[in-house]
């Protein structure tokens, strides 16, 4: 699950806690990775396949220039050609592509204090002023929501109570009885679960 650090770090920290249940639906977010230091899209695909990834079909069209793969647990990710202007200079973790509304993109822009770098039609994208990984939302049509969000944001803050109040003011809500072990479980304006903890 991605951990977002709104001010200090311009990238995502990925954590992979152990789970026992099997994945049964497509994730509502996935990484778009980009080759670095002269690596081509084919190089990245070959490396991922050698590490245990596999090709999958999620309805992508033949003319689309990304390659869709799944990791050994079935989590989808895309390999994007390094010449793509949208992800230029973002690093290997080019983008975290999310299913969501225009409103959720605006919510996360305000919540993380990351400016909108893409605002077109129903699509939004944000990035820290320092650069690094972008987070983007594709707008409708939205995917069917799984019973459990396998991937979610963890937010660290120095003052949990103040941050809970601020996020509620932006449209989030708290959730009781959730599996957020070390913090406050919340939902964003699209109903996506995220955790807020002290750190």
For the segment 113-168, what is each residue's pLDDT rounded down to a tens digit?
Answer: 999 999 999 999 999 988 999 999 999 999 888 777 678 899 999 999 999 999 99
In angstroms, the CA 184 to CA 159 distance is 12
Cα angle, residue 140 at apex, residues 139 and 144 outer, rounded to 5°: 110
Range in 8-22, 54-68, 112-126, 161-175 with the lowest mean pLDDT = 8-22
Q: How do residues 68-85 score in pLDDT, each as one tens digit?
A: 999 999 999 999 998 889
Range in 46-50, 135-139, 162-166, 182-186 with the lowest mean pLDDT = 182-186
The DSSP code sequence of 15-60 is ------SPP-S--SEEEEEE--TT--HHHHHHHHHHTT-EE--SS-
State what percent of residues in the chain have pLDDT above 90: 61
Give residue for tokens 């929501």: 145
**What does pTM read for this prediction?**
0.89
Q: Please classify residue 137 by burial: count the beta carbons closer than 10 Å to its beta carbon, then call 0-12 exposed, 13-18 middle and 19+ buried.
A: buried
pLDDT at 9: 46
Q: What is the DSSP letter of 83?
A: T
Average pLDDT, the chain: 88
At 104 the three-state DSSP class reads: helix
Q: Are 182 and 157 in contact (CB under 8 A)?
A: no
In angstroms, the CA 92 to CA 37 distance is 10
**Which residue blocks in 65-189 are alpha helix, DSSP H?**
102-112, 160-169
| Beta bridge mates, 136 | 97, 125
pLDDT at 1: 45
**Strand pairing class (123-128; 54-55):** unpaired
- The residue that leads in pLDDT, 95 or 179, is 95
Range in 51-60, 119-128, 173-182 with the lowest mean pLDDT = 173-182
């Amino acid at each position: 699950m991605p951990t977002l650090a709104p001010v200090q770090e311009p990238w995502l920290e990925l954590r992979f806690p152990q789970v026992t249940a099997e994945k049964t639906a497509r994730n509502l977010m996935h990484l778009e990775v980009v080759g670095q230091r002269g690596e081509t899209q084919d190089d990245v695909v070959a490396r991922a396949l050698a590490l245990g990834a596999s090709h999958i079909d999620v309805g992508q069209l033949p003319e689309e220039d990304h390659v869709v793969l799944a990791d050994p647990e079935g989590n989808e990710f895309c390999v994007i050609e390094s010449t793509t202007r949208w992800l230029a200079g973002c690093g290997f973790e080019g983008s975290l592509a999310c299913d969501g509304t225009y409103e959720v993109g605006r919510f996360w822009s305000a919540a993380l204090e990351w400016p909108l770098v893409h605002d077109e039609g129903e699509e939004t994208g944000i990035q820290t002023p320092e650069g690094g990984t972008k987070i983007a939302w594709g707008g409708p049509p939205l995917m069917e929501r799984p019973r459990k969000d396998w991937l979610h944001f963890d937010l660290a803050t120095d003052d949990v109570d103040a941050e809970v109040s601020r996020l509620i003011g932006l449209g989030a809500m708290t959730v009781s009885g959730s599996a957020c072990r070390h913090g406050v479980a919340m939902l964003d304006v699209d109903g996506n679960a995220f955790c807020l903890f002290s750190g």
